[in-house]
Amino acid sequence: MLLLGTNRHLEDLDRQLSIAEDVSVTAIVAGTGSGVWGAYVLLDGNRIARVDEYELAPVARVELGNGQSMAAVDGGLLLGLEGARLGRLDLFEGGMSAVESFDAVPGRAAWENPAGLSPDLRSIAVTDAGTWLVNVHVGGVWRSTDRGATWANVVPADDDVHEVAEGLSGVVVAAAARGFGWSLDDGATWRWTTEGLHAGYCRAAAVDGDVAYLTVSTGPSSRDGRLYRATHIGDPFEPCGGGLPESFPFNLDTGCLAAREGEVALGTPDGQVWRSRDRGGGFEAVTERVGRVRVLRFV
């Protein structure tokens, strides 16, 4: 299932089924075990619902602040909140609590967001080993191997990361203002490249096995956004084509790129979705113009 979230609705693109109208979809996650099964959505930044077959089932209100990102963790959901704070929802007990240890990480007072009044918690990755990687904009990437009890800064704030995404077997990738980052050791150490790219400013990243996908532009106000792939992580990138426009007149943003089992999907601010079923070799437009795409996820 490929779920599309826009600023005004939630849709299952595989079934061409509108699941919810008059909602702005902030995040979509798929639970894969440890008591978290199915797909969950963050709506309007303030409520969480589970995706049932044809509709949404309410789960919880977000009472700790405006929600910005979400990930599935053991037995629940991890929430990124405005002001670069973390919350956790226990899906068994139903309670939501702040991850207070993250409020005390060093250097927090120096975090600044050039696009807002306070730093954002832009994305969260949870590896198959259970490691949490939290992306603060702009405050670096922070790593916890003990369910948030302690934290280590693994990517500095100056690298300006816009998205982190997990793969299998300890692979983690990142899109940042300095280029594409990848880790093969569960996010502990990182390498960086811009090889093959027309510019170095990156907003979205996804990984499917050994293949990495990346959106790239010339800067925050760019009118030259492009999609690339590397057939093996760490190899030079090449532009995606095969029916996809060579360039888009805007940034291709965080959350709007997804990949799984040979499929790739890209959503745009002007309401289009492009999909490939052959690892980015060929693309087709699969929707007419809808609302502004905010998130795409295979679940």
- Helix, strand, or coil (residue 150): coil
Confidence (pTM): 0.96
pLDDT tens-digit map of 212-225: 999 999 999 999 99
Count Cβ neighbours within 10 Å for each residue of 185-210 and write b for 16 or more, e otherwise. ebbeebeebbebbeebbbbbbbbbbe
> How distant, in Å, are the alpha carbons of 7, 11, 35, 124, 141 from that of 24?
4, 12, 27, 19, 26
Could you report the per-residue pLDDT of 115-141, keeping only the tens digit for each? 888 999 999 999 999 999 999 999 999
What are 229-263's pLDDT values in tens digits? Answer: 999 999 999 999 999 999 999 999 999 999 999 99
Domains of the chain: 1-98 (2.40.128)
